[in-house]
């Protein structure tokens, strides 16, 4: 099993290229199950979750033609496509549930495994299931699988999500695109990745429009047209590198990136003392000698601060000039990195969904264990500024969402290598 060896402290300096978005790519790839005609998706990140989703599509009978550089894929469906999504494929990835909406919409039948992925809370699929039921899907759950079917086409209706959910919003967009009549979705997630999915589908002939801040109108169409599409850049990867620059007191330039989609994160970095210049499709960020503490950083749905950068920002607050508070409102169990950060010398107290972080931490290198995707990158950030050598085990979590992060960090001046 691979591990990372990091010798610190290091200072981030240079320019980094941000990869395509994992969280935008997965629903777009799942949506290809709705198509009869070929679809080409470009700017895919080379990460494990994308490989898993492509394996899922292949298992359902789709022809998947991957380019030499693995950043582009052509998908051609067969009328004989299957409807069974096995646990063996989706056990490491939550996004497997996104096959359910397209399969029900297109094939009127699906057997999908309940999702796997990171150990960061329940992430209940009931938001998906109860909403799909309103479109006409019937289902039972048996031995870890969802057995679902519909009597012909799904029928458009009005659905109000009881809680904002990115995955449920995406699944319902996919299912409603080929439904009969009009579907109104209220209390939708408005993340940039959701908007990227809508943009992709509309360019393929879907009829989806925003009629309110969190309200979508979807007029079902008979079929979707062949399309070539480039996925948006990864805002979580971008935010991670920005935090790394500030944490290490370094300087970083990010080109070909729309800063508008991480405005909240950049504002938060300014609050702790970062100097940030935003130009046309580029960001320049510089850390200061003194990192300021925060009274209370709260994770919430977009456009607020993202839960996927909570662990990374916690590392930054460990180096702040005083006590900070961080409140996690999206997932339970998302403080699993805290025990490992304590091994490096962090002083963090957990009370329910609140973390109290004592600042002025001097991290000392240690052997560490990853527990989930974002926690593993938080450990990498801490190791970069720690005194001495750190080993991070179970980096397969990291490989699910970050493309060759050690290569990118090496180019920025980090003493890092992968041990296989």
Is residue 106 exposed (0-12), middle (13-18) or buried (19+ Cβ within 10 Å)?
buried
Cα torsion angle, 282, 197, 25, 374, sign: positive
* Separation between Cα atoms, residue 166 and residue 301, nearest integer Å: 9
d(CA 312, CA 167): 23
Query: What is the DSSP-derived secondary structure letter of residue 155?
Result: B
* CA–CA gap between residue 254 and residue 272 (Å, rounded): 20
Q: Which residue has 């010798």 as its token pair?
A: 7
Q: Which residues pair with 15 in a beta bridge?
A: 253
CA–CA dist 164, 242 (Å, integer) = 27
| Measured distance CA(168)–CA(104) in Å, rounded | 14
Is 238 marked active-site?
no
- Among 196, 208, 185, 254, smallest CA distance to 412 is for 254
Ramachandran angles phi, psi of 81, nearest 5°: -50, 140
Helix, strand or coil, per DSSP, at residue 244: helix
Cα distances (Å, whole numbers) of residue 101 to 11, 34, 126: 45, 9, 13
Check 10, 118, 188, 242 and give the catalytic one. Answer: 118
Whole-number Å distance between alpha carbons of 132 and 135: 5
415 neighbors 278 (Cβ within 8 angstroms): no
- 331 vs 123: CA distance, rounded Å: 7
User: What CA–CA distance (Å, rounded) separates 344 from 190?
Assistant: 37
- With 0-12 / 13-18 / 19 or more C-beta atoms within 10 angstroms meaning exposed / middle / buried, residue 145 is middle
- Residue 69 buriedness (CB in 10 A; 0-12 / 13-18 / 19+): exposed
Supply φ then ψ for residue 291, to 5 degrees.
-95, 125
Provide the sign of the torsion angle of the four alpha carbons 12, 49, 310, 376, taken in this order: negative
Distance of alpha carbon 198 from the chain centroid = 17
145 DSSP β-pair partners = 113, 142
State the catalytic residues: 118
């Amino acid at each position: 099993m691979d591990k990372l060896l990091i010798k610190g402290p290091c200072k981030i300096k240079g320019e980094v290229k941000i990869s395509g978005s994992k969280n935008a790519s997965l629903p777009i790839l799942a949506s290809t199950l709705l198509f009869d005609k070929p679809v080409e998706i470009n700017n895919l990140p080379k990460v494990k979750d994308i490989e898993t989703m492509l394996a899922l599509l292949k298992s359902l009978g789709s022809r998947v033609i991957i380019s030499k550089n693995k950043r582009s894929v052509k998908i051609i469906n067969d009328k004989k496509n299957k409807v069974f999504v096995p646990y063996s494929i989706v056990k490491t990835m939550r996004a497997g549930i996104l096959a359910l909406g397209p399969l029900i919409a297109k094939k009127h039948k699906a057997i999908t495994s309940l999702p796997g992925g990171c150990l960061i809370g329940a992430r209940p699929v009931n938001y998906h299931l109860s909403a799909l039921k309103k479109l006409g899907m019937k289902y039972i759950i048996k031995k870890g699988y969802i057995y679902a079917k519909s009597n012909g086409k799904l029928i458009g209706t009005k659905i109000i999500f009881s809680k904002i959910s990115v995955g449920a919003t995406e699944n319902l967009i996919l299912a409603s695109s080929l439904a009969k009549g009009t579907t109104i979705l209220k209390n939708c997630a408005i993340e940039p990745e959701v908007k990227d999915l809508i943009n992709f589908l509309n360019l393929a002939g879907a009829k989806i429009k925003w009629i309110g801040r969190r309200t979508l109108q979807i007029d079902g169409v008979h079929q979707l047209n062949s399309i070539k599409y480039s996925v948006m850049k990864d805002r979580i990867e971008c935010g991670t590198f920005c935090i790394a620059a500030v944490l290490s007191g370094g300087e970083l330039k990010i080109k070909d990136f729309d800063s508008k989609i991480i405005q909240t994160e950049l504002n938060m970095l300014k609050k702790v003392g970062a100097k940030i210049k935003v130009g046309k499709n580029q960001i320049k960020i510089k850390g200061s000698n003194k990192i300021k503490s925060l009274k209370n950083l709260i994770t919430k749905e977009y456009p607020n601060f993202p839960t996927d950068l909570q662990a990374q920002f916690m590392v930054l607050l460990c180096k702040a000039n005083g006590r900070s508070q961080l409140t996690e409102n999206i997932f339970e169990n998302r403080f699993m990195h805290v025990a490992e950060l304590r091994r490096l010398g962090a002083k963090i107290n957990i009370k329910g969904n609140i973390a109290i972080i004592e600042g002025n931490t001097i991290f000392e290198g240690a052997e560490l264990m990853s527990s989930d995707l974002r926690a593993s990158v938080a450990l990498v950030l801490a190791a970069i500024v720690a005194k001495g050598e750190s080993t991070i085990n179970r980096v397969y979590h990291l490989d699910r969402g970050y493309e060759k992060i050690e290569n990118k960090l090496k180019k920025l001046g980090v003493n890092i290598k992968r041990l296989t």
